[in-house]
Amino acid sequence: MITFDKEKQIFHLQTPNTSYMIGIYGGYLLEHLYWGKRVDSTSGMFGTESRTASFGANDAELSEQGISASTDAIPQEYSFYGSCDLRKPAFHAIYADGSRITKMKYDSYVIKAGKPKLCGLPATYVENDSEADTLEISVKDELTGLKLIYRYTAFNNYDAITRNVEVINDGDAAVSVDTVMSCNVDFTGADFDMINLSGSWARERHIERRALGTGTTKIESRRGSSSHHQSPFFALAEKTANEKHGDVYGFSFVYSGNFEAGVEVDTYGRTRAFMGINSCDFAWLLEPGETFTAPEVVMVYSAGGFGEMSKTFNRLYQKRLARGKYRDAERPVLINNWEATYFNFDEDKIVDIAKTAKKAGIEMLVLDDGWFGKRDSDNCSLGDWYADTKKLPNGIPGLVKKVNDIGMKFGLWFEPEMISPDSDLYRAHPDWCLHVKGRKRSESRNQLILDFSRSDVQEYITKSLKDVLNSAPIEYVKWDMNRNMTCIGSALLPPERQAETAHRYMLGLYSVLENIMGSFPDVLFEGCSGGGGRFDAGMMYYFNQYWTSDDTDAIERMYIQHGTSLVMPAAFMGSHVSAVPNHQVGRVSPLKTRGYVAMCGQLGYELDVTKMSDEELSEINEQIEVYKSVRGVIHNGDMYRLVSPFESSHTAWEYVAEDKKTAVMFYFTIMTAPSVINKYVKLEGLEADKLYKLRETGEVYSGDVLMNRGISMPYGKDCEGCMLVFDLI
Ligand code: GLA
C-alpha cells in the first residue's frame, strides 16, 4: 500500500510488516525519512532536528526560503553530484557546456495499482494489480531539462520494496550520464555489519561479515557479468543480528552485468547505501528526448534476522521473479555427461549412460560440451552450432530419438555468447567479437566473447539455437558463459558510445533470452557461467534453475549452497551427485552425503553410471525415490539455516512445508572431533503445540520440544550426512 499525506508532505510505502517513508522538504528536496518495522502513522516523522552540518555549505534554494540547511546533513532519497551533499553521489552527468552539477527539484508524483514492466530489463512482477502499488516521483533540473523518475513498488504479500530510476532528457542538448545508481538509502547511524557473498570459480557465494568503518566499503564486478567474485547482494545488519533475531536490510540487484554496491560512512557517522551499474567504464549518451532505465534493486527489511530476510527473497524470487511453466512445475532428475566423459564421448557412450541412468531412475540425459563443430577440447568451434557427425553420426535428432526410445528426456548444452577463433563463425565474421580496433584480442579458455550489443549477432545466434531446438524434442537447455569480459569495445558503436558496450551487451543478451525462451515455453532453461558465475536475480527472470557451482564436492557445496540460500530458493539451485575422489578438490565423501547435499537443490547426477556397481545404482534409485517424496517441501517450503558451516564443524538445514505438516532436516558432519558427545539441533517453524512423528523411527516429538530443546544428533564421522523427516500427527 502506498499513500501520500498532503498535509505533512510524506509518502508512506507499506508492506505487511515494513514501512518506508519519503518526505518533501522545503517544497523541493526529497528527504529519506524512514525504513524499518511497519508503523501506521506518519506523525513525528518530519522532526525538527538540525539539518545543518559543521563545515557544511548551506543549500542555496533552501537559503532563499530562509531555511538554513545543508544537504550534507539531510538523509537524501537520491543524491547528485554538485550539491552541498558531499557523500558518494548516486548520479553524475556531464552536460553539453562541460558542467557536472545536477540540481533536481521535486516536480510531481503518481501512485498506481500494480507494477509496470521495466523495458528490456528483468524485474519482479505482479500477476494482478492488487498485489502491489507503485509510486513514481518526478524530479527536474530546471537549467538542463533533465528529468528523473524514482520508481518504487511496495508488495502487499511480501516484505519487499523495489526501486529503480529512469533518466529522461527533456532538454535540448545531449547529456553524458556516467553514474546512475538504482538506489540510494541514507541511514542515520553506522552501527552495522555488512554481509556479502564473495568467492571465486568453484567457491562461489561464501558469506563474509565485517564491521563498517568510516569511508567506503564496496563490492563490485568489472568482469562483464555479476561474477563468481562478488554477488550483487549485500545486507546491513545490526551488530547482534543472527539467523533469528535483529534488524537486517538486504539489497539485491536484478541485473547480471557490472555492478557496484556498498556503503559510505560519512564524517558525521551516517551510512549511505548504494547499488547500481558499475560506474567504472560506463557512460551513456542521452540525446534530447531519450530515456535511460536503470535496473531494479529489491530491498528487504527484516526484523527477524537473516532467516526472515532470506524467506522474503526466496519466496518473492520463486513466485514473482521466475516465470514460465517450470516456475511451479517439478523438474526432471537429470544426468549430465560432463564429469563422466568431458569431451571424450560418442553416440554409443551417451546411449550407454542413458540406458544405465534410466535403470537407476534418472529421467533426463543432458549432453554437455563437445557435441558440435569439431570440438574435442576447449580450443575450437564455439559459434558453430551443428553436430559433430564423427561423434554423433545421426546428428542431434538421431541421438535424441535413441535417448527418447530408452524412456529418457533429452537436454543439450550451449555456450551461445562465445566464439572460438578456430571456428567457421569467426573465420566468416572476425569483427563479431568484443574488441578494440588495433588492440590484440585476449583469449580466455581459448575463446572470445560475441558482441551481443549488435543486432546482427543477436539475430544469428537466435536463429542458430532455434534451428537446433526445432530439429528434435530437446526439453532442456544448459546456457553456459565461460569467461570474464576483456577488450570491451564494439565495432559498430561510435566513439562517444563505446562506454555503453557492456550494458548494451546485457540488454542484447536479455532480449535474445526473451526471444528464444518465448519461442520454447516448454523447454526448461538452466543458466550457468563456469558454475555460479552469473547466478543473480537478473538471470532468475529467465532461467528456472542455475548451475550453482562447478564444484560438486559435497562439503564445499554446503558452504556454497548455504551462502546462495541467503537470496536464492533451493528450487533454483542445480545440484549434482558426482564421482569420488571429487574432480575439483579430490575429497572422498559417501554417496549418501553427496545425495543429501544435492537434494537440497534440484537433484541431478554427473558421473559415469556405467562404471558403478549394482549396489551403487540401487542406492541412486533409492535416493531419487526419497528425493521425490520430500522435494515438494524442499522446493516450496521455508528454509531454515539451523547450523552454519561457516561457524561450526557441522551444517544443518531444515525445510518446512507451508502448512507446517512436514519438516525435512538435513544434518552433516564436516569434520569430526575426538571425545565428543551428541549435538543438539533446534528446529524451527513447527507448530509448537502439535506432535510430530519422525518418519524414519516412528518416535514422537512435540513441536515445542523440537524447537526449544532440540533433537539430539550424533556428532558423526567426517563427511557423514543424514536426513530426518517429521510429519505432523
Ligand atoms: C563450464 C560449466 C561446466 C561444463 C563446462 C563445459 O565450466 O560450468 O558445467 O558445462 O563448462 O565446458
pLDDT tens column, 488-519: 999 999 999 999 999 999 999 999 999 999 99
Structure letter (DSSP) for residue 495? G
| Residues 385 and 355 reside in one and the same domain | yes
Structure letter (DSSP) for residue 332? -
Torsion sign over Cα 550, 554, 560, 565: positive
Per-residue model confidence (pLDDT) at position 363: 98
Q: What is the pLDDT of residues 562-577, one digit of tens each?
A: 999 999 999 999 999 9
| Residues 220 and 289 reside in one and the same domain | yes
- Flag whether 9 is in a domain: no
Pocket perturbation via mutation, ligand 1, pick of 369, 382, 543, 547 by most ligand atoms within 8 A of CB: 369
CA of 346 from ligand 1 middle (Å) equals: 18
Inter-residue contact 512 to 498 (CB < 8 Å):
no
622-628 CB contacts, 8 Å cutoff, 24+ apart: 623/577, 623/591, 623/592, 623/595, 623/599, 624/333, 624/360, 624/361, 624/362, 625/361, 626/599, 626/723, 627/333, 627/595, 627/599, 627/603
Would you mind telling me the total number of residues written for the chain in this entry?
729
Mean model confidence pLDDT for the chain:
97
- Flag whether 588 is in a domain: no
Beta-bridge partner residues of 496 = none
> What HEC string does 221-274 produce?
ECCCCCCCCEEEEEEEEECCCCCCCECEEEEEEECCCCEEEEEEECCCCCEEEE
CA of 224 from ligand 1 middle (Å) equals: 18
- How would you label 53-63 residue by residue, b for 16+ Cβ within 10 Å and e otherwise? beebebbebbe
Helix (H, G, I), strand (E, B) or coil at 709: coil
Q: What is the pLDDT of residues 222-263, one digit of tens each?
A: 999 999 999 999 999 999 999 999 999 999 999 999 999 999
Burial class (CB in 10 A: 0-12, 13-18, 19+), 655: buried
For residue 478, which atom of ligand 1 is closest to its CA?
10
Inter-residue contact 196 to 234 (CB < 8 Å):
yes
Domain of 651, CATH number, reads: 2.60.40.1180
* Residue with CA closest to ligand 1 atom 1: 530
Confidence of residue 46 (pLDDT cuts 50, 70, 90): confident
Q: Kindly give the pairing relationship between strand 700-702 and strand 662-669.
A: unpaired
Q: What is the dihedral of CA 401, 402, 403, 405, to 10 degrees?
A: 80
CA of 598 from ligand 1 middle (Å) equals: 18
Per-residue model confidence (pLDDT) at position 90: 98
- pLDDT above 90: percentage of residues in the chain: 96
| Residues 339 and 286 reside in one and the same domain | no
* Residue 168 grid coordinates: 529522461
| Residues 305 and 346 reside in one and the same domain | no
Q: What is the pLDDT of residues 70-113, one digit of tens each?
A: 999 999 999 999 999 999 999 999 999 999 999 999 999 999 99
CA of 547 from ligand 1 middle (Å) equals: 9
Residue 182 C-beta-side C-alpha neighbours within 13 Å: 28
Per-residue model confidence (pLDDT) at position 701: 98
For residue 529, which atom of ligand 1 is closest to its CA?
8
CA of 532 from ligand 1 middle (Å) equals: 10
Domain of 373, CATH number, reads: 3.20.20.70
| Residues 361 and 259 reside in one and the same domain | no
Q: Which residues line ligand 1 (CB under 6 A)?
A: 338, 368-369, 413, 480, 482, 528, 530-531, 547, 550
- Flag whether 593 is in a domain: no
| Residues 511 and 483 reside in one and the same domain | yes
Confidence of residue 150 (pLDDT cuts 50, 70, 90): very high
385: CB partners within 8 A, 6+ apart:
372, 414, 416, 464, 465, 467, 468
CA of 381 from ligand 1 middle (Å) equals: 15
* Residue with CA closest to ligand 1 atom 11: 530
| Residues 384 and 246 reside in one and the same domain | no
CA of 415 from ligand 1 middle (Å) equals: 9
Confidence of residue 53 (pLDDT cuts 50, 70, 90): confident
Q: What is the pLDDT of residues 253-274, one digit of tens each?
A: 999 999 999 999 999 999 999 9
* Residue with CA closest to ligand 1 atom 6: 369
Please check the confidence at residue 373 and state whether its pLDDT lies above 90.
Answer: yes
Please check the confidence at residue 52 and state whether its pLDDT lies above 90.
Answer: no
Please check the confidence at residue 600 and state whether its pLDDT lies above 90.
Answer: yes
CA of 204 from ligand 1 middle (Å) equals: 15
| Residues 663 and 707 reside in one and the same domain | yes
* Residue 384 grid coordinates: 558453430
Q: What is the mean pLDDT of residues 421-430?
A: 98
Nearest to 274 by CA among 179, 202, 352: 179
Distance, in Å, from the CA atom of 616 to the CA atom of 622, rounded to the nearest integer, reads 10
| Residues 197 and 339 reside in one and the same domain | no
Q: What is the mean pLDDT of residues 122-132?
A: 98
Beta-bridge partner residues of 151 = 136, 164
Please check the confidence at residue 276 and state whether its pLDDT lies above 90.
Answer: yes
- Flag whether 59 is in a domain: no
CA of 319 from ligand 1 middle (Å) equals: 28
- Flag whether 14 is in a domain: no
Last residue of a domain, one of 467, 501, 525: 525
Kindly report the backbone phi and psi dihedral angles of residue 319, in degrees, each rounded to the nearest multiple of 5, phi listed first: -105, -25
Q: What is the mean pLDDT of residues 216-226?
A: 98
Strand runs labelled E in 480-624: 524-527, 545-547, 573-578, 602-606
- For residue 693, the Cα-to-chain-centroid distance in whole angstroms is 36
* Residue with CA closest to ligand 1 atom 2: 530
Where do the H-state alpha helices sit in 123-229?
Answer: none
The C-alpha R_g of the chain, in whole angstroms, comes to 27
Pocket perturbation via mutation, ligand 1, pick of 483, 550, 557, 560 by most ligand atoms within 8 A of CB: 550
For residue 530, which atom of ligand 1 is closest to its CA?
8
Confidence of residue 56 (pLDDT cuts 50, 70, 90): confident
For residue 606, which atom of ligand 1 is closest to its CA?
9
Last residue of a domain, one of 270, 299, 320: 320
Last residue of a domain, one of 320, 341, 375: 320
Please check the confidence at residue 47 and state whether its pLDDT lies above 80.
Answer: no
Higher pLDDT among residues 66 and 559, named by residue: 559
Count of structural domains, the chain: 3
Distance, in Å, from the CA atom of 650 to the CA atom of 644, rounded to the nearest integer, reads 7
Which amino acid type is present at position 204? E
- Flag whether 609 is in a domain: no
17: CB partners within 8 A, 6+ apart:
37, 38, 159, 303
* Residue with CA closest to ligand 1 atom 8: 530
Nearest to 216 by CA among 258, 261, 179: 261
Per-residue model confidence (pLDDT) at position 48: 75
| pTM score, whole prediction | 0.98
Pocket perturbation via mutation, ligand 1, pick of 345, 372, 482 by most ligand atoms within 8 A of CB: 482
Burial class (CB in 10 A: 0-12, 13-18, 19+), 7: exposed
Burial class (CB in 10 A: 0-12, 13-18, 19+), 348: exposed
Pocket perturbation via mutation, ligand 1, pick of 344, 413, 573 by most ligand atoms within 8 A of CB: 413
CA of 446 from ligand 1 middle (Å) equals: 14
| Residues 284 and 235 reside in one and the same domain | yes
Nearest to 26 by CA among 62, 50, 70: 62
Q: What is the mean pLDDT of residues 11-20?
A: 98
Pocket perturbation via mutation, ligand 1, pick of 227, 368, 479 by most ligand atoms within 8 A of CB: 368
Inter-residue contact 276 to 270 (CB < 8 Å):
no
Per-residue model confidence (pLDDT) at position 556: 98
- Flag whether 387 is in a domain: yes
Q: What is the mean pLDDT of residues 636-657?
A: 98
- How would you label 295-314 residue by residue, b for 16+ Cβ within 10 Å and e otherwise? bbbbbbbbbbbbbbbbbbbb
Q: What is the mean pLDDT of residues 680-704?
A: 97
Q: Which residues are catalytic?
A: 480, 550
Q: What is the pLDDT of residues 295-305, one digit of tens each?
A: 999 999 999 99
Per-residue model confidence (pLDDT) at position 38: 98
Q: What is the mean pLDDT of residues 171-193?
A: 97
Residue 615, number of CB atoms within 10 A of its CB? 8
For residue 528, which atom of ligand 1 is closest to its CA?
8
Q: What is the pLDDT of residues 474-490, one digit of tens each?
A: 999 999 999 999 999 99
Residue numbers of the domain that contains 211: 83-100+111-320
Distance, in Å, from the CA atom of 525 to the CA atom of 508, rounded to the nearest integer, reads 18
Please check the confidence at residue 158 and state whether its pLDDT lies above 90.
Answer: yes
CA distances from 553 to 19, 320, 603 (A): 42, 31, 14
Which amino acid type is present at position 311? K
Domain of 274, CATH number, reads: 2.70.98.60
CA of 348 from ligand 1 middle (Å) equals: 22
* Residue 616 grid coordinates: 551403487
Please check the confidence at residue 695 and state whether its pLDDT lies above 90.
Answer: yes
| Residues 257 and 330 reside in one and the same domain | no
Q: What is the mean pLDDT of residues 168-186?
A: 98
* Residue with CA closest to ligand 1 atom 12: 369
| Residues 233 and 363 reside in one and the same domain | no
- Flag whether 218 is in a domain: yes
Where do the H-state alpha helices sit in 476-581?
Answer: 501-519, 537-540, 554-564
Q: What is the mean pLDDT of residues 596-609?
A: 98
- How would you label 694-714 residue by residue, b for 16+ Cβ within 10 Å and e otherwise? bbeeeeebbbebbbeeebebe
